[in-house]
């Protein structure tokens, strides 16, 4: 097949010829080619034809301070001129990593002790699972190594992280999940609550299912539980009242670690600095990425308490080293950008802005609930979702992803980039969003919804 026939000698043709994309139908891509984004400014990006779009997903849930922020670009340039690279192996360190570790421990929502740097959320979650196993051996409990996450949860795509992820397309044909990784129910009250069941009763049922899974496998074999404060890629699932209170009670009863995956929720997305604060989660470990640098530089961090760290440190002393690390872990460019990114978030009140403007956006989106295709509008802070259905009474769709895909195409045609997870359309714009810009997102969404209604 000559993959350049339809596009001539263009960037689109060269992309088709040589670029294998993530989360893309590879054969379909050969037919339709890419949308090429050339530049970004604030909440907007521009394609190579000059068309402007609101980036309603902050890229991939991640460009918190917006595109082309001068302060982050200067921090990157200044650090590159001073020390463009160094590592943290063998007792080596550098200023940006030290300063950032200090700040992350200081702003953590619960007492924390140490920070381990990685390059992505997937790498970070893989690393935490390795640390969980390492710690179990350090404690003389090698059998306490199973872990639990949730259906519809998202924790990355490397082998262990994809196993923690609870989405079918991350498992199918990859021969995942790995043994010893289990999934309990997602806390989606609107979708899975029973007739007459209150939010609190539904939360109790979620906790009871977790308890039953622990009992079935044996509490002495379960080491840790993974959860996002708000599920992102699983459809922006906001936990019901008392959910995390009840889940944490089960974990405490059985001495099971809590790993909070804050990759999407961290640094203001939920209207607090961390989703753990929003939902009174008291994690032993926090996984951070995406908005830590507003994704200007690939970067991630694992923040842990002494309960988690001390046995690992003791084992490294016994063995002679902790045999794990990354060439780019704690990269000085990423750490410098992260420090400036945190300063911008603080100085411009972007956490508060996410809370205020997010409430305004969700209130406007909620007015679309009268549509025959809108089942639920949900969210918190500056993250939201609109779930589309064919049948509102049964909360069901005829063909999965058809409505979500149609809506996604319509929104992009009308100048708003979103992302559909099945038939759920997500909204996760940069934290700098204004109310006027939120109104523009609403207007495009309403227009697109009318077009989809007419089409079906």
Q: Where are the domains of the chain?
A: 35-65+350-455, 72-347
Rounded mean pLDDT of 118-145?
98
Residue 117 and residue 108 in contact, taking contact as beta carbons nearer than 8 Å: no
Of 379, 278, 270, 292, give the one whose Cα is nearest residue 65.
Answer: 292
Question: What dotted CATH number matches 72-347?
Answer: 3.40.640.10
For the chain, the average pLDDT equals 97
Instruction: Name the residue with higher pLDDT: 1 or 368.
Output: 368
pLDDT of residue 3: 46
pLDDT of residue 7: 78
pLDDT at 4 over 70: no
Rounded mean pLDDT of 332-351?
98
pLDDT of residue 202: 98
pLDDT of residue 6: 66
Orientation angle between helical segments 332-347 and 350-366, nearest 10 degrees: 70
What residues contact residue 235 under an 8 Å CB cut-off, 6+ apart? 152, 188, 385, 387, 421, 422, 424, 426
- Cα angle 350, 354, 359; round to 5: 155
pLDDT of residue 392: 93
Beta-carbon count within 10 A of 454 CB: 7
pLDDT of residue 8: 81
Rounded CA-CA distance 44/54 in Å is 5
Banded pLDDT at 381 (limits 50, 70, 90): very high
Q: Do domains 35-65+350-455 and 72-347 have the same CATH topology?
A: no
Rounded mean pLDDT of 198-215?
98
Query: Residue 387: phi, psi to the nearest 5?
Result: -95, 125
DSSP 118-175: ESSHHHHHHHHHHHHHHHHHHTT-TT--EEEEETT----SSHHHHHHS--GGGTTTTT
The token duo for 259 is 């790993």
pLDDT of residue 2: 44
Rounded mean pLDDT of 44-51?
98
Banded pLDDT at 274 (limits 50, 70, 90): very high
Percent of the chain with pLDDT over 90: 97
Rounded mean pLDDT of 432-436?
98
Flag the least confident range among 1-5, 234-238, 292-296, 441-445. 1-5
Banded pLDDT at 269 (limits 50, 70, 90): very high
Residue 270 and residue 278 in contact, taking contact as beta carbons nearer than 8 Å: yes
User: What's the start-to-end Cα distance of the chain, in Å?
Assistant: 35
Banded pLDDT at 406 (limits 50, 70, 90): very high
Burial of residue 90, with CB atoms counted within 10 A of its CB: 0-12 exposed, 13-18 middle, 19 or more buried: exposed
Rounded CA-CA distance 253/123 in Å is 29
Banded pLDDT at 1 (limits 50, 70, 90): very low
pLDDT at 65 over 50: yes
Confidence (pTM): 0.96
Rounded CA-CA distance 228/298 in Å is 20
Beta-carbon count within 10 A of 37 CB: 15
Is 35-65+350-455 assigned to CATH 3.90.1150.10?
yes
Rounded CA-CA distance 442/134 in Å is 48
């Amino acid at each position: 097949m000559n993959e350049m026939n339809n596009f001539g000698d263009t960037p689109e043709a060269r992309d088709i010829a040589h670029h294998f994309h993530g989360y893309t139908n590879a054969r379909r891509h050969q037919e339709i080619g890419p949308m090429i984004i050339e530049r970004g400014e604030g909440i907007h990006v521009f394609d190579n034809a000059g068309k402007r779009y609101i980036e309603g997903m902050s890229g991939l849930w991640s460009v918190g301070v917006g595109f082309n922020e001068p302060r982050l670009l200067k921090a990157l340039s200044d650090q590159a001129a001073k020390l463009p690279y160094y590592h943290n192996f063998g007792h080596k360190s550098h200023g940006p990593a030290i300063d950032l570790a200090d700040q992350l421990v200081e702003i953590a929502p619960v007492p924390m002790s140490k920070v381990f740097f990685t390059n992505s959320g997937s790498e970070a979650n893989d690393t935490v699972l390795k640390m969980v196993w390492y710690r179990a051996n350090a404690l003389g409990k090698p059998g306490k190594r199973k872990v639990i996450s949730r259906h519809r949860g998202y924790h990355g795509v490397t082998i262990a992280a994809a196993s923690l992820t609870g989405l079918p397309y991350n498992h199918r044909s990859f021969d995942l999940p790995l043994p010893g990784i289990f999934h309990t129910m997602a806390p989606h009250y609107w979708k899975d609550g029973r007739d007459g069941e209150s939010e609190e009763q539904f939360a109790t049922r979620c906790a009871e299912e977790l308890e039953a899974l622990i009992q079935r496998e044996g509490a002495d074999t379960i080491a840790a539980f993974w959860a996002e404060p708000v599920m992102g890629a699983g459809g922006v699932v906001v936990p019901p009242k008392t959910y995390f209170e009840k889940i944490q009670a089960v974990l405490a009863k059985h001495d099971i670690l809590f790993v909070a995956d804050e990759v999407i929720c961290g640094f203001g997305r939920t209207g607090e600095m961390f989703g753990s604060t929003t939902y009174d989660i008291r994690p032993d470990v926090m996984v951070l990425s995406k908005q830590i640098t507003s994704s200007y530089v690939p970067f991630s961090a694992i923040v842990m308490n002494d309960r988690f760290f001390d046995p690992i440190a003791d084992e490294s002393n016994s063995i002679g080293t902790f045999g794990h690390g990354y060439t780019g872990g704690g990269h000085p460019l990423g750490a410098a950008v992260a420090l400036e990114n945190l300063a911008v978030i603080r100085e411009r009140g972007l956490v508060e802005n996410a809370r205020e403007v997010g409430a305004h956006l969700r209130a406007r989106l909620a007015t679309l609930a009268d549509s025959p295709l809108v089942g639920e509008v949900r969210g918190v802070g500056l993250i939201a979702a609109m779930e589309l259905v064919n049948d509102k009474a049964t909360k069901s769709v005829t063909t999965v992803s058809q409505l979500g895909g149609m809506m996604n195409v319509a929104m992009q045609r009308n100048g708003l980039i979103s992302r559909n997870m099945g038939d759920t359309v997500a909204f996760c714009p940069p934290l700098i969003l204004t109310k006027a810009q939120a109104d523009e997102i609403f207007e495009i969404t309403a227009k697109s919804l009318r077009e989809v209604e007419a089409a079906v």
